[in-house]
Structure formats: C-alpha cells, structure tokens
Structure 1
Amino acid sequence: MCALTMNENVFVLLEDPVAPQRSDLLQIQPSEGLPPVPLTGPGAPTHYRTTFLTLSPPGALEQLLAQLRARWVSVRQSGAPGVPQRTQASGQQLSVEGHIYAIGTDFIVRAGNVILAGGAVKGMLLEAEYLPLPTMKQSTDGTLELLSNLLISILPNIPDAKTAAVTISDSIWEEVLWDREEEEEEVEKGPPQEESDDIFVTGDQDVPSFRKGDWIGVDRDRRSAYLIIGALKSEGLL
C-alpha cells in the first residue's frame, strides 16, 4: 500500500501480486459452450491486482484503519505514542517540495525535490503538462516526444546524472480507472433506449460533456499521483 497526499486529497495505491488483472480476464477466450469469465457479480474475483482510491480529507485513511485495527500503519503514525509496534518492516516516508512554472499559456511544469524523512535529497521530479491537448499520441515505445524533448531541454547538463522518464499507456490507465460499482450499475440499467423519432432531437443528448479521466481538477491530480508513485517505486524509494 502506498499513499500520496496532494492538496486536500489522499491517493492510495493497493497492489496484490497474486490477484488477476482485469485486462487478462478480458483476453481469455472461453471454451465452446462455456460462458465468458465474469468480471463482476457471482463468480468474479473479489478484487483485482491494482486498486487506486481517492480519499478526503487527509488523515481519514489512518483513522479508518485504526478503528478497524488493521495491520497497516502509516509511517507518519509509527512513532506516535499509543500506536502499537508492528513486526513488519516500516515503509518509507517521502516528501516532494518544489514550485510550479507556467511557460506561456501552453505548458505547465512542476518541479520538486524528493526529500527523505531525515532531510536527504534523493533527486528531482519534473512533470510537464501541455494544456492545448487533453491527450497526446504516444510513440511505439509509449513515450511522448514533445514532452520528453521539453523536459530534456529544461534539465541541467550534469555529468553522470541519471534520468528516468515515466509514462503510462492508455490501456493501463483504463485499468486503473475501472470502477466495479459503476459497471454493475450500467449492467442493471440495461441497453440504452432506441433513438427517438422527434425531429428536434439531435442525437447527442447522451454524450457526456465530461469524461472520466479528463485532465481537470482532482482527475488530473489522480493521474499525477499515480505517475509519481510509479516513479518512486521504480527507483526503489517506496
């Protein structure tokens, strides 16, 4: 379990290595005469490998786990009086402190130092956001050439410096955004009604003006938090 606090929200990543991935079940071809593997409801897995939660306000997760007497204890509470000591190894507590820069009206660049609990600086996180486009086409290796070139031009030329680019494919992000309850509600609603013969109906009344996962508000923070956690895990800091 990894938790990241940003503004007034806490983003929690839960990973179970032995649980299946939803995408893997979608690719399973059922044998002839057998029903497909259910993703929800009876016969479906109780959970999948990755669960990404958004909680508010900060501290609510620790209070809930304390009331449930869960085995997991936040590293911010591990040294507090009255908190029982756990036999498992304590996790790492990090903070990212920096600034947000605007380049014209097109780019937003967020830069921050990764600081350990003892004050040691382990590196810097750079995040670039291109405002004119909500999504950008990725190359075959999953990178975004425009943003990658921008970050390379910003980084100082330090000898022997290690640079790691972190991106996320649309398929992985779709897996993260999947909501079991939302899909079950859509199944209960059934197929959409047939189109109306009314000449004043344009046909786009059911098209949402806001799509889940758009780079707006807390959804932007969700994707940013997921990438930051992934970057820190890939560097062995979490």
Structure 2
Amino acid sequence: MLVRADRVGFARLIAYARDPDNTDQRALACILSHRCNCPDTPYRQALGLDEAELRAVLAEYFPVLAADWPDGGCLRHRLGLACHHEAPPPGHGRFSASLLEQEEQDLCRLFLTHAADSGIWPVVFARSIARACMEPQHLWMSLGLEGRAQLSAILVRHFPALVARNDHDMRWKKFFYKLLCDEEKVWTCKASSCEICPHHSECYVTSPPGNAPAVVPPEG
C-alpha cells in the first residue's frame, strides 16, 4: 500500500499520464512519485534513470509534465513533495560508488538478457529495479509499488523468462542475487538444499493454509 505522500504524488502524476489506465504507466507513476531523481541525491533514493532518460520517459508518457522541464529539476519537487536528498538515509556511503555501480550494471544485464522485447519498458523497469535492489527494504517498497503482486506483474510482463526460472517462489531480490552468484560460482550456503536451510523463511514467500494472506519476510 502506498504511503500518504506517495498517494498524493501518484495522483498528481497520473493526472498527467497519456493513458491513466495503462498498467505500465500506473506502475511507473508509483515509482516516479516515490523515488528521487536529483543528481546529488543519496544513491539509494535515485531512480536509476539519467536526466536525458527521465526527460524522454516523461515526454513519452507524461507529456504535460515534461513541458519546460528544467535541467536537474527534481520530479518530487515538481509534484509538491519533499526531495529525498534533503534527508540522507542512515548508513549512506557504506559501500564504494564503483562497487554499487558494478552491482547495478550486473542486475540490469540480468534483467535485459531476459527481456521480452527491446522496447522502452524493459529498460525503464530494469534500471529502476536494479537501483532499488541496493536498499534493505522489501523490493516493492523500495520502488514505491503497492505490493509484491504489482512487482511480480511487472516482471511477468517484461521479463517472463526470468520469472520462469523462479519456480520455487523465492523472493525476487534474493532470487536475482542468487542468479548472479550462480554465474560467478559463488556459493556461501552450507545446507545441502534450500528446504533444510535455517534461513529458508528469509528467502521464500510462504503461503499459509486457507485464505490467509501470504507471509512475506523483509527484504524483498
């Protein structure tokens, strides 16, 4: 569920959308209204899109908002919201920028290798999701989405081959990093299988019996 400030930003942003009922434009509106695009913003709050890319996305899907867009302008300020760079998160700067950039590039490559097509949507979502993976929250929360189901729907639409590989419903962020570790042949878990690993609940979404909602542990 969107927090109050994000609901306000989303409503203002979706009012400018070329097609307010389009599923991808609504998901992008959640992300754009939640995350900050200032050049000097803390890394973890960034959109993952550079100035030219953001300008192109706004011109394509939110054309009224894109009109007279200032260089280095903050989208959240344009929506009447506080800019995240005004309150750097605790622990910012723990890792070197070069290490984080390499990690982000590896994640982007993973997504785009599994993209359903070569259009703009896979690129926009790959960049945003990869950047949000740097944060400790649920991935859907870091993106400003309404829930894990909305994140899963984005992945199904644009990265179906990647989704197909997650056949045991591992949490998305854990799953992405597991694939990267598999590529590099880096394995740290000593359990003979995931099912008996003591950290199983941290990696997988558990589905309780009956109609109770699934329990989703932190970070994913």
Task: Flag the structure with higher strand content.
Answer: 1
Whether the TM-score (by the shorter chain) exceeds 0.5 is no
TM range (shorter): under 0.3
**Higher Rg of the two aligned structures:** 1
